Amino acid sequence: MLKKYEVMSEQVNLTRTLMAKSVVDRYLNRTNLTHYSELSRLIGCEAFIKHENHNPTGSFKIRGALNFFHHMSREELETGILVATRGNHGLAMAWAGQWFNVPCTVVVPEGNNPEMNTTIESYGAEVIIHGGDFYDAQSYCEELVDTAGYYYVQQGNEPEILNGLATMGLEILEDLPDVDTIVCPIGGGAGCASILKTVRAFRSDIEIIGVEPQNVPSFYKSWKSGEIVTLDEAHTVADGLAARTVFHLPYVIMRDAINDVVLLSEEEILEGVRMALTTTHNLAECAGAVALMAAYKIKDRLAGKKVAMIMSGGNMNMEILKQALQG
């Protein structure tokens, strides 16, 4: 089964990422890569934050959505697209769908952040609530494809989504060509895999370190076992990283190329939110703050290096924010 995705991974490449950059640049302002003195002091490195939380939908995923729509034919999209999400992917697809005049249906699990649901609807998408978690929502999407004829967008297994996301890596190298290490969250894996594929096309020596919740180490366990592992559950304050399994395409890209994966406890994740607030004056969602906390956790090995950390999003659940601030 993985052979299919090994072949597909060849479609995620520098040429297509450069093409994607011309698409992304039409719609988005470049996000800053900002150096922070206090964060640098705490970690003992030259600390830079790639501010994907400053994108219009509050996360990095808008890059992939725009490039996806650009490459799809009108015939493929005429019945509308269907996505499963906990939030950021759905926000991105709904926002981009408006630009391309494509109807978007978003399936979210029960108990999903109501603020997120409302925002998705504000972009003109239909929201369907179904199932106990993301994977129940995903299964329901597969049923809807059979009955309603939607184009189902499996975010981590769409090469053009990854090529769009990979523009983060291009921008990091343009702004900080001598970067030593990039620290990136891993949920389904698309963001980290796309950055890895791009920066390694220029420099094989750049260290790529992923970050996952200790409660939901789906990629870490897959990486260590040499095969994709599906967890029984995915409970973490970092909604954006609550992935019971990694997508196949990112897995085949990362499995032999990533340098390390740092696992964080729930309290460490919340501490990362506080660290982002105090050192960068940014409100990062839990998934967006884990790179900072992971870098702090392994600060001895990062000492003196130039380190870029991906602040992947800022769509914070208010209840979890209260929890973080009470820590």
Pick from 138, 158, 178: which residue ends a domain? 158
Q: What's the pLDDT tens digit per position in 116-128?
A: 899 999 999 999 9
Provide the strand spans (E) within the chain: 33-35, 46-51, 81-84, 104-108, 126-129, 151-152, 181-185, 207-213, 260-264, 306-311
In whole angstroms, give the CA distance from residue 230 to residue 158: 20
27 has pLDDT over 90: yes
Share above pLDDT 70 across residues of the chain, in percent, rounded to a whole number: 100
Sheet hosting strand 260-264, strand order edge to edge: 33-35, 46-51, 306-311, 181-185, 207-213, 260-264
* Structure tokens given for 128: 């369907």
The DSSP secondary-structure symbol of 29 reads: P
Pick from 158, 175, 209: which residue ends a domain? 158
Give mean pLDDT, residues 293-298: 98
Query: What CATH code is carried by the domain that includes residue 124?
Result: 3.40.50.1100
Together in a domain, 218 and 293: yes
* Structure tokens given for 311: 């602040």
Give mean pLDDT, residues 194-204: 97
C-alpha to C-alpha distances, 161 to 65, 153, 187, 259, 275, nearest whole angstrom:
6, 10, 15, 23, 30
Together in a domain, 184 and 40: yes
Q: What's the pLDDT tens digit per position in 170-180?
A: 999 999 999 99
Identify the pLDDT of residue 17: 98
CB atoms within 10 A of CB 148: 11
> Domain span at residue 138?
62-158
| Of 247 and 73, more confident | 247
Together in a domain, 149 and 269: no
- Name the average pLDDT for the chain: 94
In whole angstroms, give the CA distance from residue 225 to residue 294: 22
Phi, psi of 127 (to 5 degrees): -105, 125
Identify the pLDDT of residue 231: 95
Together in a domain, 51 and 128: no
- The three-state secondary structure class of 176 is coil
* Structure tokens given for 309: 């950390």
Q: Positive or negative, the Cα torsion across 10, 107, 227, 189?
A: positive
Q: What's the pLDDT tens digit per position in 63-110?
A: 999 999 999 887 777 778 999 988 899 999 999 999 999 989 999 988
Band of residue 134 on the pLDDT scale cut at 50, 70, 90: confident
Pick from 118, 142, 158: which residue ends a domain? 158
Together in a domain, 40 and 173: yes
Band of residue 136 on the pLDDT scale cut at 50, 70, 90: confident
| Of 323 and 271, more confident | 271
327 has pLDDT over 80: no
Q: What's the pLDDT tens digit per position in 30-75?
A: 999 999 999 999 999 999 999 999 999 999 999 999 999 999 887 7
Together in a domain, 131 and 178: no
Together in a domain, 134 and 22: no
Identify the pLDDT of residue 144: 85
